[in-house]
């Protein structure tokens, strides 16, 4: 109950600010949403993209799921929640950029690296889902067999971002817009340990520092060329 009471208090404070102090701004956004950015983020409670970027209501169209994964384009009768949200953001809202936001200590990637998804039961929804990043797991296990499991997990967290970026390009409505340069894709990685943000650079094949750690000794880039 303590959490619920805290949440209600927080909403009252939000209510007073948005409906009171920022009333004019809310009058604009309640007419409709016009975000320029779609973010695919993890469901992890520590990685809320709006909080991390100090964004406002209406700034982001956010799709959150375990391990911030994007499935490949498929035409089937199965429920396609993530694909539907991406299609809505791109085709209806006409976003200008998509950010796949990964992070350190991802539980979904950790489960994948420990074998979840290799043989899944009918009711193993997590195993089926993280299997989307199987190409990343295979790549990491082959290239970094001499590394610790912690190092492999971190590498897989980054490699899985690239899998999602590739899967985004499998959607024709995204590939067409990228080719026309009306849509840009980004891969970002939030390092919770260092408190830094890196972004994937296709030219170098590595993650480069976007916002360095306050601790200047922290690593600010990660090579994925292996």
Which residue is it, tokens 């499991």?
149
Among the residue ranges 54-63, 105-114, 115-124, 211-220, the one predicted with the least confidence is 211-220
- pLDDT for the residue 190: 98
Higher-pLDDT residue of 113, 117: 113
CA–CA dist 23, 30 (Å, integer): 10
Segments making up each domain of the chain, as ranges: 1-32, 34-223
CA–CA dist 78, 171 (Å, integer): 17
**Count of residues for the chain?**
226
What are the strands, taking DSSP E only, across 43-139? Answer: 60-65, 97-103
**CATH superfamily for domain 34-223:** Carbonic anhydrase (3.40.1050.10)
In the structure, what pLDDT confidence band is assigned to residue 19 with cuts at 50, 70 and 90? confident
Residues taking part in catalysis: 42, 44, 46, 103, 106
User: What mean pLDDT is predicted for residues 1-22?
Assistant: 86
pLDDT at 71 over 60: yes
Cβ neighbours of residue 204 closer than 8 Å, sequence gap 6 or more: 225
């Amino acid at each position: 109950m303590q959490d619920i009471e805290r949440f209600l208090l927080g909403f009252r404070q939000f209510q007073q600010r948005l409906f009171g102090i920022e009333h004019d701004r809310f009058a604009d956004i309640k007419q409709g949403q016009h975000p320029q950015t779609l973010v695919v983020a993890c469901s992890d409670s520590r990685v809320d993209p709006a909080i991390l970027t100090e964004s406002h209501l209406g700034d982001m169209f956010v799709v959150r799921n375990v391990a911030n994964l994007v499935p490949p384009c498929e035409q089937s009768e199965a429920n396609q929640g993530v694909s539907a949200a991406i299609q809505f953001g791109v085709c209806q809202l006409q976003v200008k950029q998509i950010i796949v936001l990964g992070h350190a200590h991802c539980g979904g990637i950790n489960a994948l690296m420990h074998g979840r998804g290799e043989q899944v039961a009918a009711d193993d929804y997590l195993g089926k889902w993280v299997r989307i990043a199987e190409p990343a797991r295979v790549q990491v296990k082959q290239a970094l067999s001499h590394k610790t499991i912690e190092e492999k997990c971190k590498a897989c967290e980054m490699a899985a971002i690239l899998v999602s970026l590739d899967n985004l390009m499998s959607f024709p409505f995204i590939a067409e817009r990228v080719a026309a340069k009306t849509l840009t894709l980004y891969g970002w990685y939030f390092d919770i340990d260092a408190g830094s943000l890196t972004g994937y650079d296709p030219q170098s094949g590595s993650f480069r520092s976007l916002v360095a750690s306050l601790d200047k000794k922290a690593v600010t880039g990660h090579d994925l060329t292996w």
